[in-house]
Every structure is written in C-alpha cells, then in structure tokens.
C-alpha cells in the first residue's frame, strides 16, 4: 500500500527500535505524529533537520505531538547501517560525510560526537535485499509520485527518465520499505500525520513550515 496525502497513513517500516518504546502510526491515536526520516551518512540531516525535529519535540511534547526518528538507506549502504545508527544513538558518534561536514563547521565534540542528544524514539527502516527483474510497473510506481505530469512529456524525455530509474534500481543493493512506501525523494524527509491518522504532509529537505503546520493541526477539532 502506497501512501497518499489526505488518506489514512500506512504504517512505516521498522526492522528494529534502537531508542524508545516501539510504536507506529496506528498506535498513536489522538496524537499528531512527526516522523523525521534521515540517513546516518547525511550531513544536512544533522545540521538542519534533526535539530529542527528536536525543537518541535521540546516545544510540543506536552501538547499531544509525538516526534519519531527513522533512519533509512537509499545509498551508501556500507555506512547507513543499523550498527552505525546504534553507535550514533548510544554514544553520539557520527561517521562518513556527516562527520566530515560537522567537523568542518566546528559542530562536533571530542572529534566525532554530536553536540546534542536525540531525545525521541528512533528506529531503523526495514531494508530488504533487492533481487530479480525490475518490472515496468515498478519503474512507473517510482516515477509518478516524483513527476505527476510524466505521461504528457515528450517520448524522448520519458525514455531517458525510465532508463535512469532502471539504472538506479539496478544499482540499489537494498530496498527501504518506508522510503519507497512514502515515495520519498531523499533525506532528510518529514512525514506528518494528524490525530485521526490521516497523512497530511510529506516533504523533502529543509521544511521550515513544520511548526506552522503543527500549530494548524493542533487547532483542528
């Protein structure tokens, strides 16, 4: 089941909870839920998105808003691992590009540790080894959420996009359940679900509008 904004949110995939009590969208009745999706090897996630999610957590935790973190992997499968996520949560230690970027901005402690602790529950996305043929249907399921007007494009453009997606899918070692179910475009991404379990927003990159959206949802009946 693919996620559609304005409809009931499907549960996100989890292979393991590394911090906090296990939960999911269907268990958060009467709560607004912000799911912050990140990769361990993602500088922008730790410089912007996770600090923003922590601010939302601190501001609204007593107002019926739940903030959850989900580490996924759509690239750098050797770095975006469950082991590195556990190390991050337990010790604050970061790796790869995240470490390099935060270090260059003077944002690490003791050389390789975050200057902040993630206070909300954190899980790892459900990854499965990819195998078999890549069907045309699977390719189109990937394309349409990214390019809704795809069918009206010139044939040459469509063929180029199909070929690019096919090559991308061939290069992927793993398929990430949440990343694909919500048709995410990258990390960081934010998934917002209202008190009735309806998916209200999926956004990629620096949102900036999440606080306004949460205030709006809090004012709804």
pLDDT, one tens digit per residue, over 151-188 is: 999 999 988 988 888 877 776 777 899 998 998 989 99
Between 97 and 146, the higher pLDDT residue: 97
What is the rounded CA–CA span in Å between residue 85 and residue 89? Answer: 6
The DSSP code for 205 is S
**What pLDDT does residue 168 have?**
76
Listed residue (162, 149, 158, 184) closest to 36, CA to CA: 184
Rounded to whole angstroms, what are the CA distances from 110 to 45, 94, 99, 101, 103? Answer: 20, 11, 12, 15, 10
Which helix (H) or strand (E) segment holds residue 87: the answer is helix 82-91
According to CATH, where is 3.40.30.10 located in the chain?
16-128+176-218
Grouping H, G, I as helix, E, B as strand and the rest as coil, residue 177 is helix
Which helix (H) or strand (E) segment holds residue 121: the answer is none
The fourth-level CATH superfamily of domain 16-128+176-218 is: Glutaredoxin (3.40.30.10)
Confidence of residue 142 (pLDDT cuts 50, 70, 90): confident
What is the rounded CA–CA span in Å between residue 135 and residue 83? Answer: 32
Listed residue (85, 89, 88, 77) closest to 112, CA to CA: 88
Q: In the block, which residue shows the tokens 């306004």?
A: 212
Which helix (H) or strand (E) segment holds residue 35: the answer is strand 32-38
**What pLDDT does residue 70 have?**
98
**What pLDDT does residue 1 have?**
64
| Residues 215/65, Cβ–Cβ less than 8 Å | no
Is residue 75 pLDDT above 90, yes or no? no
Average per-residue pLDDT for the chain: 91
The DSSP code for 176 is E
């Amino acid at each position: 089941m693919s996620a559609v904004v304005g409809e009931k949110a499907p549960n996100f995939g989890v292979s393991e909870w590394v911090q906090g009590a296990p939960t999911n969208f269907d268990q958060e009745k009467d709560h607004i839920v912000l799911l912050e999706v990140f990769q361990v090897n993602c500088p922008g996630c730790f410089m912007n998105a996770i600090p923003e999610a922590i601010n939302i957590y601190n501001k609204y935790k007593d107002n019926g808003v739940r903030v959850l973190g989900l580490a996924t992997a759509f690239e750098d499968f050797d770095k975006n691992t469950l082991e590195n996520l556990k190390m991050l949560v337990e010790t604050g230690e970061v790796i790869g590009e995240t470490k390099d970027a935060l270090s260059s901005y003077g944002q690490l402690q003791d050389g390789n540790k975050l200057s902040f602790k993630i206070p909300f529950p954190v899980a790892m996305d459900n990854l499965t080894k990819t195998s078999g043929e890549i069907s045309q249907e699977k390719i189109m399921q990937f394309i349409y959420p990214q390019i809704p007007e795809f069918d009206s494009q010139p044939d040459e453009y469509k063929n180029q996009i199909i070929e690019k997606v096919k090559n991308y899918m061939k290069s992927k070692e793993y398929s990430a359940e949440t990343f694909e179910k919500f048709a995410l475009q990258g990390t960081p991404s934010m998934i917002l679900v209202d008190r009735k379990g309806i998916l209200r927003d999926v956004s990629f990159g620096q949102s900036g509008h999440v606080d306004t959206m949460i205030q709006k949802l809090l004012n709804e009946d």
